[in-house]
Amino acid sequence: MLELNNQYTLMKRQVHAEVLKEFFAGTLKENVDKLPIRIIPKQRVPNRCCIYKERAMVRYRIMALLGINIESDDDELKSLAEYVEEVMETDKSAAPILTTISTACSSCPPDRYLISDACRGCFARPCLANCPKDCITFSGGQAHIDESRCIRCGKCKEVCPFHAVVHIPVPCEEACPVNAVKKNEEGYVEIDYKKCISCGRCAMSCPFGAIVERSSLMPVVKMLGKEEHVTALIAPAIEGQFPGTLSQIKAALLAAGFSSVLEVSEGAETTSLHEAEELAERKARGEGYMTTSCCPAYMELVDKHLPFLGERRSSALSPMGYAALKAKELNPATKNVFIGPCLAKKVEALRLKTVDAVITFSELASLFIAKGIDVRELEGSDLGDTSSFEDCRQFALSGGVASCVLSRFAPSHEVQVLPVNGVDKKMFRTMKIWEKRPAEADLVEVMCCEGGCINGPGVVVKPSVAMKLRGGNKAAAPVKAMRSVIQ
């Protein structure tokens, strides 16, 4: 997957912030068609073929931010202003979560193995000896691969003493664990939504930014502008995503117009309790392994690809589910907005019906920028009594869910935990095997993103930075601590 810090991420964030600034200034409809030109001025040295294509891409990114399904609703004759008008009147349905920009797609050739100039045409020729399809030939003192016979097993790459064999993947296809990303007849990317589990890996992998998420920011900023009670349900992963403490983040959300803030970790406590109880019951009945149920991409994976796991997963609602109920309990009229690192949560929200919109940390950051909210400058807002669910903030990390369940589990039992830390193609194959040969564990904790939610598609910072800033509601401290180390 792409390193988070790249030109595309920065461009996307700039586009989001500029659009929201116009929105809050009340001039979005008037100026939206000028934004592509303002963001890509003619002096710019383009990364794509020319500034005009870059401007066209900014237009599509704005459409995705407005929540437009680019695949089905792209009308080139329509101005962005007309789209804005539409979106202001009625909210677009959030499904499907992803959409593709075919003109951004570079239509990468199929993945292949290639022998580079580093090949010395050696005497031993392990590539030749180990290729199962005899597709290596030698000419001009170098090895070559016969494309028509190659089965892409990678054996030649493994055995070459000069590391001369390179694998050139198709990043989106390689990233998709369930083969939902394919090329159409023209060679452009297409998503098979019947297979897609909305994990967002493809969107995080495409170096051309051709797969984008459809944002729910517009419905949310519209909500904030009305006289409505809006609750921000903040995912446990939020700590460390902004330069400030958790209580400062809460203050920033209130300043941004949310009426109240509820930590989803509070819901995570209920999830842990429920799963601990269920685990005890299942163990008593000798039913074998149980899986967690908090990762929405995993839920989709089970529903669409691994139905036999349906009875294995816990019946507990996700932390978001319980937190949403809690918020409605506190104020039945409230609108719930889940703020997390996850795209698949949007699918879950559509199913649950207690969550009205889902936005990502990255989108929240552009909201802060557009409103001129500096998280670090704010005085922290009281988080209330968090003692009972403080440990549940670890739900954001791989291994964290299992540890919260275990700490609420009667200690007399021996529980074996199997963490599934990221679901890629290989892990998906392993999980398929469980149908015939059950996983050897009592509790299987599944997180589709490696490292947990702090590595999700909607994060602001990479996990290493987030980990530095997390912990004990004193996220700003590490900066000072590091300073004292230096001196």
Partner 1 sequence: MGKKEKVHVQICVGTACFVQGGADLLLYNEFLDPAVLGGCEIEGVSCIGGCKEAQSKDRPPYVRIGEKVYGNVNQEMLCKLLAEATRA
Smallest distance, partner 1 to C-beta of residue 34, A: 18
Site for partner 1 in 211-270 (CB under 8 A): 242-243
Using CB under 8 A as the binding rule, whether residue 44 contacts partner 1 is answered as no
Smallest distance, partner 1 to C-beta of residue 379, A: 13
333 vs 486, beta carbon nearer partner 1: 486
Cα–Cα distance, 118 to 102 (Å, whole number): 35
Smallest distance, partner 1 to C-beta of residue 362, A: 8
239 close to 246: Cβ distance less than 8 angstroms: yes
135 vs 460, beta carbon nearer partner 1: 460
Sole binder of partner 1 in the list 55, 263, 461, 463 (CB under 8 A): 461
Smallest distance, partner 1 to C-beta of residue 373, A: 6
295 vs 460, beta carbon nearer partner 1: 460
108 vs 475, beta carbon nearer partner 1: 475
Sole binder of partner 1 in the list 465, 471, 473, 474 (CB under 8 A): 465
Q: Which stretch binds partner 1 (CB under 8 A): 164-172, 286-294, 381-389, 468-476?
A: 468-476
Distance, C-alpha 395 to centroid of its chain: 15
Using CB under 8 A as the binding rule, whether residue 480 contacts partner 1 is answered as yes
Smallest distance, partner 1 to C-beta of residue 13, A: 6
Using CB under 8 A as the binding rule, whether residue 484 contacts partner 1 is answered as no
282 vs 462, beta carbon nearer partner 1: 462
Sole binder of partner 1 in the list 2, 8, 14, 473 (CB under 8 A): 14
Q: Which stretch binds partner 1 (CB under 8 A): 6-14, 124-132, 206-214, 340-348?
A: 6-14
Tell me how many residues contact partner 1 (CB under 8 A).
Answer: 33
Q: Which stretch binds partner 1 (CB under 8 A): 10-18, 99-107, 226-234, 322-330?
A: 10-18
Q: Which stretch binds partner 1 (CB under 8 A): 5-13, 73-81, 231-239, 315-323?
A: 5-13
Interface mask (CB under 8 A) for partner 1, residues 407-446, using x and -? Answer: ----------------------------------------
Show the 3-state SS of the chain.
Answer: CCCCCCHHHHHHHHHHHHHHHHHHCCCHHHHHHHHHHHHCCCCCCCCCCCHHHHHHHHHHHHHHHHCCCHHHHCCCCCCHHHHHHHHHHCCCCCCCCEEECCCCCCCCCCCEEEECCCCCCCCCCHHHHHCCCCCEEEECCEEEECCCCCCCCCHHHHHCCCCCEEEECCHHHHHCCCCCEEECCCCCEEECCCCCCCCCHHHHHCCCCCEEECCCHHHHHHHHHCCCCEEEEECHHHCCCCCCCHHHHHHHHHHCCCCEEEEHHHHHHHHHHHHHHHHHHHHHHCCCCEECCCCHHHHHHHHHCCHHHCCCECCCCCHHHHHHHHHHHHCCCCEEEEEECCCCHHHHHHHHCCCCEEEEHHHHHHHHHHHCCCHHHCCCCCCCCCCCCHHHHHHHCCCHHHHHHHHCCCCCCCCCEEEEECCCHHHHHHHHHCCCCCCCCCEEEEECCCCCHHHCCCCCCCHHHHHHHCCCCCCCHHHHHHHHHHC
338 vs 368, beta carbon nearer partner 1: 368
Q: Which stretch binds partner 1 (CB under 8 A): 12-20, 69-77, 114-122, 168-176?
A: 12-20
Interface mask (CB under 8 A) for partner 1, residues 348-387, using x and -? Answer: --------------x--xx-xx---xxxxx----------
Tokens of 173: 């296809």
Could you list the residues that contact partner 1 (CB under 8 A)?
5, 10, 13-14, 17, 242-243, 362, 365-366, 368-369, 373-377, 460-462, 464-465, 468-469, 476, 478-480, 482-483, 485-487
